[in-house]
Structures are given as structure tokens and as C-alpha cells.
A = this chain, B = another copy of it.
Amino acid sequence: MRLSRAAEYAVRCMLYLSTAGKGVLVGRRTIAREMDIPEQFLGKIAQQLARAGLIEIIQGVKGGFRLVVPPDELTLLMVIEAVIGEIFLNDCMLWPESCGRSPVCKVHVVWENARNQLRETLRKATFSSLITESPVLSPDAHSSLSLLNP
């Protein structure tokens, strides 16, 4: 019932890119170092974010990632579902036909409500709201100052 680490990494990455600003190119290594993400793993996650149209990946020397969606249109839900797929809280909701109890059973109604609530909460959380007046980096990430105070 927990968020995967990959999704948590994705959020961290997008927080960093949001702080940098839409369209600003940041190297993969930089993000990995600043946000405590295994660099190769970040590569995999970035592919998913790119496929979802949230970032653009630039190859070659001076390559890296850049935010495509403006932070005030980017939501936690978009980032998380880009990585873990559409959120479902239980199986029978995902494959109602395999359960046989779905349309009639009130349990599924509860779960459906819970799911909708959760997704709505995550949809309301834009990255611009998440980075305002709130440090995104851990206290010991000194070098981040180069980004925040250019």
C-alpha cells in the first residue's frame, strides 16, 4: 500500500526541475547527486516521465533533462501515474469482471470513493505550490546554491 521508491524519486526529480524552471536544461548527474537518486535508475525513471510528455531528454555532451510542462500545470498525480501507472487501490476495481462481486458489492463503492479522493488530492497539488517557500533540497546539499542563486 506504499508508494514505490521510483515514484518518490520521480517526484524529487520534478521538484528539482520545477525549481530550475520550465525549459531549463539540467544534467542527469546533477539531479541524481542533489536529490539522492541512483543515477542509472534516474535514467529509467526519466524515460517514463518523457514518454508521459512531462520532460524532454537531451542527448549528447551537455545533455540532460528539461521540464516541458510549467510547474503550475504539473501535478503530483501526473508525475506519480507516469511512473506507476494509473492508481488503483485494489484489484477487483481494476478487473471487475474477474471478481464477480464488483457492481453489486458495496465494498467496491467504498474503494472507488477512496481512489477518487486520493487522485483528486494529488491532482490539486501542483509543483509550483509545492516549491514555494519550502526548501526542496536537503540541508547538506551545498552545491545546490549554484542553481538557486545563479
CB of A17 within 8 Å of the partner chain: no
CB of A52 within 8 Å of the partner chain: no
C-alpha spacing A104/B130, complex, angstroms: 10
Give the oligomeric copy count: 2
A139: nearest residue on chain B (CB-CB)? B100
Contacts of A11 in B (CB 8 A): 107
C-alpha spacing A8/B122, complex, angstroms: 25
User: Closest CB of chain B to A93's CB: distance in Å?
Assistant: 9
**Which one of B15, B106, B121 contacts A117 once the chains associate, using CB atoms below 8 Å?**
B121
Contacts of A100 in B (CB 8 A): 138-139
Q: Which residues of A are at the interface with B, using a C-beta cutoff of 8 A? A: 1-5, 8, 11, 15, 76, 84, 87-92, 94, 100-101, 104-107, 110, 113-114, 117-118, 121-122, 125, 129-132, 134-136, 138-139
Can you list 20 residue pairs at the A/B interface with Cβ under 8 Å? A1-B2, A1-B3, A1-B84, A2-B88, A2-B89, A3-B89, A15-B107, A101-B135, A101-B136, A104-B135, A105-B134, A105-B135, A106-B125, A106-B134, A107-B130, A110-B130, A114-B118, A114-B122, A117-B118, A117-B121
Beyond contacts A2-B89, A104-B134, A110-B125: 20 other A-B pairs, Cβ-Cβ < 8 A, are A1-B2, A1-B4, A1-B88, A2-B88, A2-B90, A2-B94, A3-B91, A5-B91, A8-B92, A11-B107, A100-B139, A101-B135, A101-B136, A104-B135, A105-B136, A106-B132, A113-B121, A114-B118, A114-B121, A117-B118
